[in-house]
Structure 1
Amino acid sequence: MKRVIIKSAAVCLFLGISVILNSCSNTANKEETKETVYASDVIPFFDDWNLILGDGSNVGHANNFENEDFFYTVNDGKTNWVVFKSPNGGDTHGTSNNTRTELAQVKKWYPATADDKLTATLKVMNVSATGDARVAASHAVVVGQIHSADAHENEPLKIFYKKFPGQTKGSVFWHYEINTAGDDNSKRWDYSSAVWGNDFSVVGAEENSYPEEPKDGIELGEEFSYEIVVKDGIMNLKFTSEGHETKTFTKNLIASEFTTTADIPKQTQELFVPIGQDGVERKNAYTGEGCFFKLGCYNQTNGKSPEVNKNWCSGAETHGGDIQKQYADENYAEVWFKTASMSISDASVSNQGYFEKND
């Protein structure tokens, strides 16, 4: 697997005053050159994003940039890919418990007036080898998001890939997180919808036992694509992958369907209500809040004890935050992107306030 393109030049070696009897007069004294293929050469849209690395740092626009631990390119013999890589444990960005190597949009838009779109084609190459199988977030990574920049900073969309150890196929599913009514956001919860395979709620019966492998799942290294369109308050999602059924979904982002306790879905009652996350949503959902896209590798597996939160705290191996040890025994997430595109509405505005709060 190549991370760079090499252009070789013949070099003549001189030993004392003697010239090695190889005719290389046309290339004498030429140094070997190394040309790096940057992510911005593969997907030229980095002016629209800030790049957050797996050590919590914000490097800004990622034009002509690489980092050997978190963000670089590879060539699989046919195609250049942009690699996003993030360990189970380390410094995190903002208030999250999880590390990420992820692009965050530098502008925000408002769902009610939006006409914004994000597309991507990718393949997940690794998810954490460890984690409590009873914890829904174990062995998972988020590869695309819509995030609110305002108020609670909740997430109307997270696109997940999850695969249990020893299994060939994993699941792709997406989440809607309620925009909690009132000032107490601790009662927020997610609702998960399966795309291929299972949703978030399918977990192991014991710490190291796993549910049945999904028959219609996606393998590590198998390409799939997503398309997110938000227009006039409605989010439309489309998921495609060769050999799999195309799936589409629609969600209203400006009028909630979860405004009373009676509206809480059975899935949420089983997953979140038992741990006190039993809130309801504002009637107008994400109306009036600036939202923005994210894309990359947001590792959902962490080293926090499941006793803290049985849905989000995996108890996985982190080697005390030692990144190289985590990489050596597959305690990380890695996602490769082949293509991506974004269109931004004229009504979008600067998202600098979000970064000032979270960097």
Structure 2
Amino acid sequence: MKLNTKNVFTSAIIPLALCTFQILGSCKHTDKKPNTPTSPNTGKNATQQAVHASDVIPFFEHWNLILGDGSNVGKAVDYENKDFFYTTNDGNSDWVVFKTPNGGDTHGTSNNTRTELAQLKKWYPKTANDKLSATLKVMNVSATGDARVASTHSVVVGQIHSADGHENEPLKIFYKKFPGHTKGSVFWHYEINTAGDDNSGRWDYSSAVWGHDFSVVGDSAKTYPKEPEDGILLGEEFSYQIEVKEGIMNLKFSSDGHETKTFIKNLIESEFTTTADIPEQTQKLFVPIGQDGVERATAYTGEGLFFKLGCYNQTNGKSPEENQNWCSGAETHGGDIQKQYADGNYAEVWFKSGSITISDAAVSNKGYFTKND
């Protein structure tokens, strides 16, 4: 794997233990068809209706569920919502469906809708021994949006989030596919934990797993880059494993027919403490819009971190003039969810399995939800 030489995001084969487990707006676009057929919200037979997400993946007591309307429904044990969170069967396996539109009410300070699990406990990276794994497939990403905006047509399927300080994110796992392409890309981000009290200079660094990284965008609003040869299809299964132990984050990505990829990142010692450390990718994407901060030397040391899992839609209706990386200018139909679902302006992710291991040193994450609900 070719990585920036100023960066120590190293890719190595790391043996991981098997885990047990961001308002609205409107922008016209000519391509409004869903990326792929998905399961309907209604019409499931009686047997399928009787299957809840907690029957498919029995770990929901460890999470609060945030829905695509911004609400926190708490622990999703024996729970479903026909618009955002339910189960389906593809003929071979039961799956948990996480679904959310481009535009609607959001949770916390985010610009983006999500149907996503947020861990009830937080843990500190220096003393952590915490793990998350999941097997999933992405079934839809937004059919509209400005192709020059790096986050358009993407969804985040797993995260590590800080409950403290700036509430930044040392890990976001993305899937992104442009309209007309058969294959999409999987990549992951590290967001710096910005030094000082002003977090406006924060930026992400993106590492490709299969296909492109975040920085590969269209030449115009409606033209797209070359399709990745080694990408992941919509509806194609892949898995991720995350382990944080004694300050070090280990990642593993696997999928049948694709090379298994592993990565290491230090979460308690920064490599981005001076402007000279800002990598070329960041200089291209973030520095031109004023996001040119540096990171505190101790990175995320002393901050409580927690896992997230689900469907965090990265396409929204905000104007790209506000931010060329995060404001997509996509169709939202004024927040009408069913209209967005009808013409492909949503994200949908199915999970088949997942597991979480929580260290004895983890503590309550109630403060995060008090601030953000």
Shared topology, TM-score over 0.5? Answer: yes
Alignment of 1:117-132 (within 5 A): 117-132=131-146
1:313 maps to what in 2?
327
1:156-201 CA distance string (max 9 Å, x none): 0000000000000000000000000000000000000000000000
CA distance in 2, matches of 1:356, 1:151: 15
CA distance in 2, matches of 1:270, 1:196: 21
CA distance in 1, matches of 2:270, 2:164: 18
Alignment of 1:227-246 (within 5 A): 227-246=241-260
Amino acid at match of 2:67: L
Corresponding residue SS for 1:62:
coil
CA distance in 1, matches of 2:139, 2:49: 25
Corresponding residue SS for 1:187:
coil
1:44 maps to what in 2?
58
Give the deviation of 1:4 after TM superposition: 4.5
Amino acid at match of 2:46: I
CA distance in 1, matches of 2:117, 2:144: 26
Give the deviation of 1:144 after TM superposition: 0.0
CA distance in 2, matches of 1:317, 1:304: 10
TM-score (norm 2): 0.88
CA distance in 2, matches of 1:76, 1:255: 44
2:6 maps to what in 1?
none
1:61-89 CA distance string (max 9 Å, x none): 00010000000000011100000001000
* Identity across matched positions, percent: 81
The answer as to 2:308 corresponding to 1:294 is yes
Amino acid at match of 2:315: T
Q: Is the 8 A contact 1:135 1:313 kept in 2?
A: yes
2:239 to 225, 247, 265: 225
| Structure 1: gaps (5+ residues) | 8-33
1:313-337 CA distance string (max 9 Å, x none): 0000000000000000000000000
Give the deviation of 1:96 after TM superposition: 0.1
1:277 maps to what in 2?
291
2:266 to 244, 248, 252: 252
Amino acid at match of 1:320: G
1:86-113 CA distance string (max 9 Å, x none): 1000000000000000000000000000
CA distance in 2, matches of 1:166, 1:274: 29
**Over aligned residue pairs, what C-alpha RMSD do you find?**
1.0
The structure whose Rg is larger is: 1
Corresponding residue SS for 2:81:
coil
CA distance in 2, matches of 1:5, 1:349: 41
2:365 maps to what in 1?
351
Q: Is the 8 A contact 1:5 1:37 kept in 2?
A: no
Amino acid at match of 1:109: W
Q: Is the 8 A contact 1:57 1:93 kept in 2?
A: yes
1:12 maps to what in 2?
none
Q: Is the 8 A contact 1:178 1:189 kept in 2?
A: yes
Amino acid at match of 1:301: T
2:114 maps to what in 1?
100
The answer as to 2:175 corresponding to 1:135 is no
Amino acid at match of 1:194: A
Give the deviation of 1:5 after TM superposition: 5.0
The answer as to 2:37 corresponding to 1:6 is no
1:28 maps to what in 2?
none
Corresponding residue SS for 1:282:
coil
CA distance in 1, matches of 2:298, 2:241: 24
Alignment of 1:162-173 (within 5 A): 162-173=176-187
Corresponding residue SS for 1:186:
coil
